[in-house]
Structures are given as structure tokens and as C-alpha cells.
Structure 1
Amino acid sequence: MHVRAPGARRTAVPAALLATGLLSALLTAGCGQDDDPSVAAPSTPATSAAAPTSSAPASAGSPTPAASTPAVDREITVTVAKRRVSPPTGRVTVTKGQLVRITVTSDVADELHVHGYDLGARLPAGTPGSVEFRAEKTGLFEVETHETELVLFQLVVR
């Protein structure tokens, strides 16, 4: 005779949802005002500004100093001015496993949020804010601002 543990059935349902992609779809379906990406534990840390670049020339024969952050595979830059998104809202496709950096500059204080990855960054007015992460989850994810509720673009990870 086989006896099933009380929690066994509950763990099978999320696994089935995960396998079919329904759980991912449910998690990315909406954004509540109670979401606070600054509290979430992202898989990689979010940064509040783009990494500084050096304008000093490297001396001949010496290697260029390494940047404080690793080179990214895909950099996406968005500007918001007077509630207009530039470049215009659309889809941006990246390959699963790529290191992605999203940098947003807004003319008003706001908060950047990447759905599905639960990443966010504060956007002080006129100052770039960035998130950097490895695109390990496949699917379609909205990238938006929370205060002004603007969809910046849809991130497609394949």
C-alpha cells in the first residue's frame, strides 16, 4: 500500500505549470502597485547607474584596464521625456543566456521594472538607472516604469 504525503500533490501542480510555461505567463501577466523590485532578491544585482567609462587613452603596450562590470552581450537604452518613450515601444529580442543591461533615463523621478525577472532600479529625474542580468528565463516580459505606468518595451528571450 502506498501513502502519499499531504504536500506531495501541491508540489506537483506548480511543477506541471512550470513545465507548460503557464506559471511564467501568470507571473508576467500584471503588475500591482504593491510590487517593490528594490525588495526582491534578483539573481544578479541591479545597479542604479550605468558604469562609468574612462576617456583617458591607454598607453601603448599596456592592456586597457578592465571595466568594473563585465562586458554585456546586449545593451538596451531608453529615454523617457514628456511621457514619450524613445525609441518607440516595441519588442526587443535577446538570446537565452545573454548578459543584458537595460539603461533608462527619465525626465521625471520614477522606477524601472522588468517583469518576470523581478528587477528594478530607481530613476532619479535626468539620471540614468540600469539593471543588468543574465537572460535565463525564456518568454515575453514587459519592461515598464511604475509611477508613470509607461511600457518601455517588451523583452523577448528565446
Structure 2
Amino acid sequence: MFVRAPGSRVPAVVATCVLAALLATGCGQSDDPSVADPSPSPTAAAPSTTTAAPAPSDSPTPSATASTPTVDRQITVTIAKRRVSPPTARITVGKGELVRITVTSDVPDELHVHGYDLGARLPAGMPASVEFRAEKTGLFEVETHESELVLFQLVVR
């Protein structure tokens, strides 16, 4: 009959954990500095929000990669001293277009797209974006929550 002492499995368990940790940290890593790490994918399936500034590009026009669809409509808004630039207006987009709204605020706030229930934290002085497919038709306000500013009205036709 074979009997094991209670502590005899500890070295095997420790070795397994160390091996798993080494494999996990080494997986997907590249020593080549020209290979960029991919951004973490958003947890929501449809809309995505980004709070980091876009990376600078050497080319004058942005190019889309195979995994990133081309944005049909880019809307950029700046808030400084409670003033919206460009001034509040209606912006019309076509149904089905991929829309990216990028907002830079001089104070911390929260961006909200009514009707689509999308939002993004606006850290002071840093651009934040929300991207979505305009599938719902109608008139939707895009505003900030803390300062209660209407940035524009989005018309989807």
C-alpha cells in the first residue's frame, strides 16, 4: 500500500503555478520594439469609449487597419470656461454610419449621448471619445452631465 504525506503535493503545486505564471507572462510578448501592443478590447459589444489621446501619425491622413473600421463621421468638441466650440448646433448623420465623438473639457466631466445611452468620463484637459453605429433614427442630445452643457444635437436620418 502506498501512503503519501500531506505536504508532499506542495512542491508539485508550486511548480505548476510558477510554470503557468511564466507561460502567461511570456505569451504574446515580442522583443521587437517596432511591434506595438494592441489596445485592450472594450467589455461592451456595441459601443466603445476611449479616454486616451490618439497616437500621433506620420501620415497626413489616418488609415484604418483590418480590425478597425473606418469612422464615417468624426465630431470633435472642445469645452473651455463653459463655452462649447464649435457652438451648439444640429449635426446630421446617416443611419448606419459609424460615428466617433471626441470631447476635450477643461474641467472633469462626463459625456452622455441620449437615446444611445452612451457615455465617457472626461478628464480635465484630455480628449475622450465615444464611438457607435448610428442605428436609431431621430434627434438626440449630446451633453455633459456635471456642467449640464448641450454640446450638439445629433440628427440620424
Same fold by TM (over 0.5)? yes
TM-score interval for Structure 1 and Structure 2 normalised by the shorter chain: 0.5 to 0.7
SS in 1 for 2:74: strand
- Tell me the residue number matched to 2:96: 97
Q: Distance in 2 between matches of 1:149 and 1:68?
A: 35
- Tell me the residue number matched to 2:69: 70
Q: Distance in 2 between matches of 1:136 and 1:65?
A: 22
Q: Distance in 1 between matches of 2:150 and 2:100?
A: 17
SS in 1 for 2:50: coil
**Which has the larger Rg?**
2
1:106 aligns with 2:109: no
Q: Which runs of 5+ in 1 are unaligned?
A: 1-40, 58-63
Q: CA deviation at 1:55?
A: 1.9
Q: CA deviation at 1:42?
A: 6.9
The CA deviation string for residues 59-94 of structure 1, in whole angstroms up to 9 with x for no partner, is xxxxx7838732200000000000000000010000
Between the two structures, name the one with larger relative contact order (CA 8 Å, sep ≥ 6).
Answer: 1
SS in 2 for 1:46: strand
Q: Distance in 2 between matches of 1:42 and 1:142?
A: 23
- Tell me the residue number matched to 2:132: 133
Question: What is the identity, as a one-letter code, of the residue corresponding to 2:95?
Answer: K
The CA deviation string for residues 27-48 of structure 1, in whole angstroms up to 9 with x for no partner, is xxxxxxxxxxxxxx67322222
Inter-CA distance 126–95: structure 2 relative to 1 (3 Å threshold): same
Normalised by the size of structure 2, how large is the TM-score?
0.65
- Tell me the residue number matched to 1:5: none
- Tell me the residue number matched to 2:148: 149
CA RMSD of aligned residues (A): 2.2
Instruction: Tell me the matched-pair count.
Output: 112
Q: Which runs of 5+ in 2 are unaligned?
A: 1-43
CA contact (8 A) 1:73 1:98 kept: yes
1:117 aligns with 2:120: no
Runs of 4+ in 1 over 6 A off after TM superposition: none
